Amino acid sequence: MVHSHDLGPVIDQHPFFQGIGQTLHDLLVGCAANVRFEAGDYLAREGQAADTFYLIRTGQVAVEVDVPGKKPIILETMSEGEVLGWSWMSPPYHSTLDARAVTLVRAISFDGKCLRAKMEADPKLGYEVMRRFVPMMAHRLSLARMQLLDLYAPSVGGKKRKAGK
């Protein structure tokens, strides 16, 4: 088990915050906690407060959309080295999707309120965090767009058109 006072080296090893610099690193560690989720546990629920993001260390997390009367639609399965959650960055700070542990998940959680306050007080930290989140957000939105195209693409010649064609 990794204790909160030992999170600095763990954060250093995670690709998302590689090269962040010692001063900003120390600010991040102050908002971090070691967490664990059993298979089936939810890391986030649509509509609930989003005050956390996670650096996934081990395990798999399904990012899902709840469909009434049907099984949830899995938009993405995330695993080691990936970052989960960005709703903590933008008001009203509510999760827009469900995130469910598929396997045992070990992660570092970051308190969004703590980090937002530190980002406000130190624009350099704010810039570094945003610089790392924005490309990830753009990539995930692009993936969601491709899935929508695949689901709703018009039929061509009686067959469903493949996304990107």
Dihedral Cα 96, 32, 118, 88, nearest 10 deg: 0
Per-residue pLDDT at 155: 61
Fold (CATH) for 4-152: Jelly Rolls (2.60.120)
Least confident of 70-74, 99-103, 157-161: 157-161
- According to the model, what pLDDT value does residue 156 have? 61
pTM: 0.79
Question: What are 139's two structure tokens?
Answer: 């990539």
Sign of the CA dihedral with 144 first, then 150, 151, and 155 last:
positive
Task: Spell out the domain ranges in the chain.
Answer: 4-152
Residue 2's pLDDT band, with cuts at 50, 70 and 90, is very low
Task: Encode pLDDT of 46-76 as tens digits.
Answer: 999 999 999 999 999 999 988 889 898 888 8
Bridge-based pairing of strands 61-65 and 32-37 is: unpaired
Half-sphere exposure of 62 (CA within 13 A, CB side): 15
